[in-house]
Amino acid sequence: MIVVANRIPVAEGYEADFEERFQKRKGLIDHEDGFIRNVVLKPVEGDCYVVMTFWRDQAAFEAWCESDSFRAAHGGERPPREMFSGPNKLEVHEVIQLSEAPG
C-alpha cells in the first residue's frame, strides 16, 4: 500500500473556500481501481492542510492521475492564486507497518 500526501499551505481567510472545494469533489475518487481511502486534514496550528490518499500500489495511483475522475476532480474553475500561502508539496510513501484498533 502507498500513501500520497499533498501538503497545501492555505492563506489566512481562504480556509472555508478551500474546504468547500473538497466537499464539492467528495466521492469522485471512491470507485477508482486500487483506491482505499481519502483523508483531508485541517491544521490545528499553522496553514498547511494535508490531503492523503491511500492506494493499493503506485500503479493504481498513477492510473488515477490519468483518469477521467482525476480530470473532473481537478478541472473546473481554478482557485485564486491568493488562496495559497506557498507551493504545495506532494509526497509518496510506502506503508511498511500498519496498526489499527481491533474491531
Using CA atoms in the order 16, 19, 20, 26, what is the torsion angle rounded to 10 degrees? -170
Tens of pLDDT along 42-58? 999 999 999 999 999 99
70 SS3 class: helix
Instruction: Indicate left, alpha or beta for 33 from its phi (over 0: left) and psi (-120 to 50: alpha).
Output: beta
Whole-number average pLDDT of the chain? 92
* The predicted structure's pLDDT at residue 35: 96
- Residue 20 cell numbers, joined: 468547500
Using CA atoms in the order 19, 89, 68, 75, what is the torsion angle rounded to 10 degrees? 50
* The predicted structure's pLDDT at residue 6: 96
Place of cell 485564486: 80
State if pTM tops 0.75. yes
Quickly state the pLDDT bin for 99 (edges 50, 70, 90). very high
Of 93 and 23, more confident:
93
